[in-house]
Chains A and B, each alone.
Chain A
């Protein structure tokens, strides 16, 4: 059974017969049932969102609970701080590097693995579990292993011998961000394999048969039937990757020791943490947050346009 968004909310079948009074009562019950969730959405999403915009236009200080300190309006001053800081530019550039590596790797590898898994075969459950395992495991635990694998004196460098990069992977200006992109690809891949596996169910068998009649080989079929057939899933992968990139904190903070050498792997969220909490400028961090939200929206829209083109 598949639970899909397409199914519209089923309307109760015979409300006309019930008295209006009962209907009114039920409507109150519905509002009552949903109210804790609405409260949650307000407290955790709506209020912080408004608050961050407000904060970004004021000079804001941290205060102890209950104390009232003036927060004067400063216009675009915090935004000026954000846009003139070269590290901010570096952090956004880092997300772009992340996306350029992560998106093609994720789409390519997960689609190939899903296509390979998409048949009745021995060991299917085992492979699915193996691919999915990193996805359910805590980043902090996996970062610990990767630090050990890719450290200066780590397993991978021992394998490579004299071919090992110098400086080593995680402390190398050119390799720190690509390492994070590869780590995240590896960790999330299983999720996207499952996503593509589900999407493959919706690609019509007759398309494969027809293309086989026309003399298309397996490789040709993959590119002219499978790839276009799962395009909506691909759009989702791309948008998900953008959100992941914009959200990144624990990987640059832990895997590359606080943002890598010369901010080579600093992410905007890590920067928000450093500016807002470590250096005590929550107003500048808020402005950075607003810029980041705008960035996510613009890039997501562009990605959606791009992947859905020609459909």
Chain B
């Protein structure tokens, strides 16, 4: 077998195999999404094979799910929770990342160690004591602040900011300091404008967490008017299906609405979900 120069036939064969493999994968990954969209638009959504073919399309399922769980209100709740998390992560995360990368202070090593550690602690394991504290002790059940609190500052984003700021030329900051600029001003005028790509990546990485989260808002919100879409959709899935004519269609319509924002953001900003970012975000 001559290995240094593979026969042309073998190379073409390898390429074909590559495409077959990847295409097969793509079908497995995309088919459920296709099925979700088609199923949400059909008048009768049954599980038989015809359900994969679009026919007799209608928007009735979207109206049905909207009348059962009030889509607008749920979306608003999801939006408030997500935007609250994004704002906190951006404001406090940038400050912490800048301090960890550029400034000296006592306990810096300990804070950075804690940052790496919490990325390994499964949040769900702490859900119960958090529930007791937030809902029972602080009385923050059915409250946006209670919904946001456990996710308020995304440690992965802090890590990303820290990495980014520590790669900037430190002489730039030093020069500004000699000119008498305050640290906040240096951060705002020099560091932040250069950090735009990191900010965008951090926002995108942070977004999918609270938007898709189920367990925490499920515990914290009992009032249907306060529930984000993932929670209201889950309650439809487990006990409201009998209330509409085409329950499977309505459920899939709700699933489409829940999936859409994250999918669109991902597709628009795809190049920001790059492997290096993920790599750096998970190396901790």
Hey, which bits of chain A sit against chain B, CB under 8 A?
1-5, 7, 9-15, 18, 22-23, 26-31, 33-34, 36-38, 40-41, 43-45, 47-49, 51-52, 55, 62-66, 109, 112-113, 116-117, 119, 121, 123, 125-134, 136-149, 151, 153-155, 157-159, 186, 189-191, 194-195, 197-199, 201, 212-218, 236, 239-240, 243, 246-247, 249-250, 254, 257-258, 269, 272-273, 276-277, 282, 285-286, 289, 292-293, 296, 300
Contacts and interface: CB of A to CB of B under 8 A. Distances in A.
Interface of A: prevailing SS: helix
Given A12-B173, A44-B126, A34 B99 contact: yes
A9 B161 CA distance: 12
A249 B39 CA distance: 26
Interface in B119-138: 120-133, 136-138
A36 B154 CA distance: 12
Contacts of A236: 282
21 contacts: A4-B163, A9-B162, A14-B171, A30-B99, A30-B105, A33-B98, A33-B103, A41-B118, A45-B121, A49-B126, A52-B129, A140-B212, A148-B47, A155-B47, A190-B29, A191-B278, A194-B275, A212-B3, A247-B124, A285-B128, A296-B122
B175 to A, nearest CB: 10
A196 to B, nearest CB: 9
Contacts, number: 344
Interface in B8-32: 14-15, 18-19, 21-22, 25-26, 28-30, 32
Contact of A30 (B108, B208, B248): B108
Q: How large is the interface on B (under 10, 10 to 19, 20 to 34, 35 or more residues)?
A: 35 or more
A140 B284 contact: no
Given A136-B262, A141-B233, A146-B32, A198 B215 contact: no
A158 B32 CA distance: 15
Interface of B: 1, 3-4, 14-15, 18-19, 21-22, 25-26, 28-30, 32-33, 35-36, 39, 45-49, 51-52, 92-93, 95-96, 98-108, 111-112, 114-115, 118, 120-133, 136-139, 149-150, 152-153, 158, 160, 162-164, 166-167, 170-171, 173-174, 177, 183-184, 208, 211-212, 214-215, 219, 230, 233-234, 237-238, 248, 251-252, 254-256, 258-259, 262-263, 265-267, 270, 273, 275-280, 282-284
Contacts of A129: 266-267, 270
A48 B126 contact: yes
With a 10 A CB-CB cut-off, give which of B96, B163, B273, B279 has the most chain A CB atoms: B279
Contacts of A40: 92, 152-153
A153 B92 CA distance: 50
Contacts of A141: 36, 230, 233, 254-256, 258-259
A207 B185 CA distance: 49
A198 B219 CA distance: 37
A111 B101 CA distance: 34
A37 B92 contact: yes
B129 A286 contact: yes
A36 B233 contact: no
Nearest to B26: A130
Nearest to A49: B126
Nearest to B284: A5
A290 to B, nearest CB: 9
B111 A38 contact: yes
Contact of A127 (B25, B93, B263, B279): B25
Contacts of A125: 270
A29 B103 contact: yes
With a 10 A CB-CB cut-off, give which of A34, A36, A247 has the most chain B CB atoms: A34
A289 B65 CA distance: 36
Contacts of B21: 112-113, 116
Given A40-B153, A62-B132, A250-B215, 18 more contacts: A5-B280, A5-B284, A29-B99, A34-B105, A37-B95, A41-B115, A44-B150, A66-B139, A113-B25, A129-B266, A137-B212, A144-B233, A145-B33, A186-B29, A191-B278, A195-B275, A247-B122, A249-B215
Contact of A246 (B92, B107, B122): B122
Given A31-B107, A44-B126, A62-B136, A154 B280 contact: no
A148 B126 contact: no
Contact of A145 (B36, B208, B215, B234): B36
Contacts of A139: 212, 214, 230
Nearest to A118: B18
Given A37-B92, A41-B114, A48 B130 contact: yes
With a 10 A CB-CB cut-off, give which of A47, A51, A155 has the most chain B CB atoms: A155
B212 A138 contact: yes
Contacts of B270: 125, 128-129
A130 B173 CA distance: 42
B84 to A, nearest CB: 13
A3 B263 contact: no
